[in-house]
Amino acid sequence: MDQNIATTEVLLTPDNSEIPQSAPIPTICPSCKNVVDLTYNFCPTCGRKLKNAPIFVSLTKEVWIYCVSLFLPPFGLRWAKYMGQSDPRIKRIGALAIILTVLSTAVTILLAISITNSLTTTLNNQLNSTSNLGL
């Protein structure tokens, strides 16, 4: 005769007290070895960072990120860290910030070259005209 024997897994804390099955699944802090809730970003005992906190970006902050990336190109690279997030919206914000930064930098360089060439041509023309006067 086959008997169905139900087995249940019991989770224990370091001091061998049982964790109820209705409780959130715990994990162990790698620093102090205490049991912590899986949803915690920091260990409540020692303060060690367990995982990165999710990033929330409001519409106002998103517009701010795009404006800074466009008008102050080097500072747009600050949001490259958003590329490592799991939320696709946050990844998109990071990618657009980098693209705007690169485009803005390229336009700035092209404008600087154009202005430099224009000034050089103007100065050369003025120097040539004064040398032709015989002064």
- The per-residue pLDDT for range 60-77, each reduced to its tens digit, is 999 999 999 999 988 888
Closest C-alpha among 100, 97, 102, 99 to residue 55: 97
Task: List the beta strands (DSSP E) in 8-127.
Answer: 11-12, 18-19, 26-28, 35-37
- pLDDT reported for residue 13: 55
Distance CA 36, CA 46 (A): 11
pLDDT over 70 at 82, yes or no: yes
φ/ψ (deg, to 5) at 134: 80, 25
What is the pLDDT confidence band of residue 24, given thresholds at 50, 70 and 90?
low
Q: Which two tokens stand for residue 105?
A: 């930098």
Cβ count near 105 (within 10 Å) = 14
Task: Name the residue with higher pLDDT: 13 or 30.
Answer: 30
- pLDDT reported for residue 110: 97
